[in-house]
Amino acid sequence: MEIRELEYFVAIWQEENLSRAAEKLFVTQPALSRYLQRLEDELGLLLFQRIGRRMRLTYAGERYLSYAQKILQTRREMEAEMTDIRREEKGRLRVGIPPFRCSFIMPAVLPVFRSQHPNIDVEIMEEASAVLDEALACGDIDLAFFSLSEKNARLNYEILEEDWLYVILPKGHPLGSAARTEPDGARSLTLEQLADETLILQKHGQRQGQYILSELSARHIRPRKTIESSNIRAAALLAANGYGAAFLSGGLLRHFEARERCDAFRLSGCKAALNFAAATRAGSYVSSWTSDFIALVREGIRSGAI
């Protein structure tokens, strides 16, 4: 068994199609098909079910994938550590981050990081927090930044900023007169006060959407109307333009281009703050350049640049 063959198997699983996997791997489809047939013959097991044009894992395939991912992850960690030891710093850093945060964090951090580590290639995965959580746990990325509401036992976290969720309403909305002033001077509203509003929520698979929905359920609140958008910036712009109430963390609110056209109220009474964190895979080797990337984001937050 060679590392290259494990990469072939993982690519077939990811693409669910031999043709797309072959294109991704820069091999011919017949060669990839022969590899898979040979592997299944050697094992005496069917690893994929062919359902139309899609390739779906059998139970044996799921177990093979589990071991293949562990082996590939161990190899990546070994290469990173050996590179650190040699001090040659030739490598790759795969960073996951939600799209809105990517728009202001990466332009601030990447140029500085490249000046520090010119031989490290950075690959960026822009996805919702829940997707990044699983990608990091599986070893598809090395580092992720996202808002943290629930911890995954397979990951390690560093809290970079203690944050809160804010309700976004159009400027001068009547609910502003009912807002409470918190001890630190922030104005706040509760979810109960928003029950008669149209709530613009993130999709069920996104962490902020899950957070708000769980709070609504726990409080037995049924809003007048809800709509969903996977684009958190678009949701906030809709709210600023009078379409309903949306939600942003404080870290995102600082970079919201229409913040002068809306009122923002801290969401009070919820079970937890929504802190911003850097996450790495538990038990995995963390390269020096990964630590440096986290440090740049941490310092950017502290200085107000991010």
Residue 287: pLDDT band with limits 50, 70, 90? confident
**pLDDT digits over 9-64, tens only?**
999 999 999 999 999 899 999 999 999 999 999 999 999 998 888 999 999 999 99
Which residue in the block uniquely carries the two structure tokens 């997707």?
131
Domain count of the fold of the chain = 3
Asked whether residue 77 is assigned to any structural domain, the reply reads: no
CATH code of the domain covering residue 62: 1.10.10.10
pLDDT at 152: 87
pLDDT at 1: 65
**pLDDT digits over 95-133, tens only?**
999 999 999 999 999 999 999 999 899 999 999 888 898
| 131/48 same-domain check | no
Q: Is 95 helix (H, G, I), strand (E, B) or coil?
A: strand
Which residue in the block uniquely carries the two structure tokens 């600082």?
254
| 158/284 same-domain check | yes
Burial-class residue 286 by CB neighbours within 10 Å (0-12, 13-18, 19+): middle
What does the pLDDT average to over 164-172? 94
What does the pLDDT average to over 152-164? 92
Q: Is 248 helix (H, G, I), strand (E, B) or coil?
A: strand
Cα separation, 250 vs 163, in Å, equals 6
Q: Is the pLDDT of residue 288 over 90?
A: no
| 150/232 same-domain check | no
| 59/186 same-domain check | no
Find residue 93's DSSP bridge partners. Answer: 122
Find residue 161's DSSP bridge partners. Answer: 276
Q: Is the pLDDT of residue 165 over 80?
A: yes
Instruction: Residue 172: give the domain boundaries.
Output: 165-267
| 201/142 same-domain check | no
What is the share, in percent, of the chain residues with pLDDT greater than 70? 96
Angle between helices 129-137 and 207-218 (to 10 degrees): 110
Residue 77: pLDDT band with limits 50, 70, 90? confident
Residue 164: pLDDT band with limits 50, 70, 90? confident
Q: Is the pLDDT of residue 293 over 70?
A: yes
Q: Is the pLDDT of residue 181 over 60?
A: yes
Q: Is the pLDDT of residue 141 over 60?
A: yes
CATH code of the domain covering residue 145: 3.40.190.10
What is the share, in percent, of the chain residues with pLDDT greater than 90? 65
Asked whether residue 30 is assigned to any structural domain, the reply reads: yes
Asked whether residue 74 is assigned to any structural domain, the reply reads: no
What does the pLDDT average to over 195-206? 87
Residue 182 is given by DSSP the state P
What does the pLDDT average to over 239-267? 93
Mean model confidence pLDDT for the chain = 90
Number of other residues whose CB lies within 10 A of the CB of residue 272: 12
For residue 219, give both structure tokens: 């409080």
Asked whether residue 10 is assigned to any structural domain, the reply reads: yes
Please state the pTM of the whole predicted model: 0.69
Asked whether residue 76 is assigned to any structural domain, the reply reads: no
pLDDT at 271: 58
264, 246 Cβ separation under 8 angstroms: no
Nearest CA among 169, 165, 163, 181 for reference residue 264:
169
Cα 220–chain centre separation: 29
Burial-class residue 176 by CB neighbours within 10 Å (0-12, 13-18, 19+): middle
Contacts of 281 (CB under 8 A, 6+ apart): 73, 136, 137, 139, 142, 154, 155, 156
What does the pLDDT average to over 282-287? 86
Residue 210: pLDDT band with limits 50, 70, 90? confident
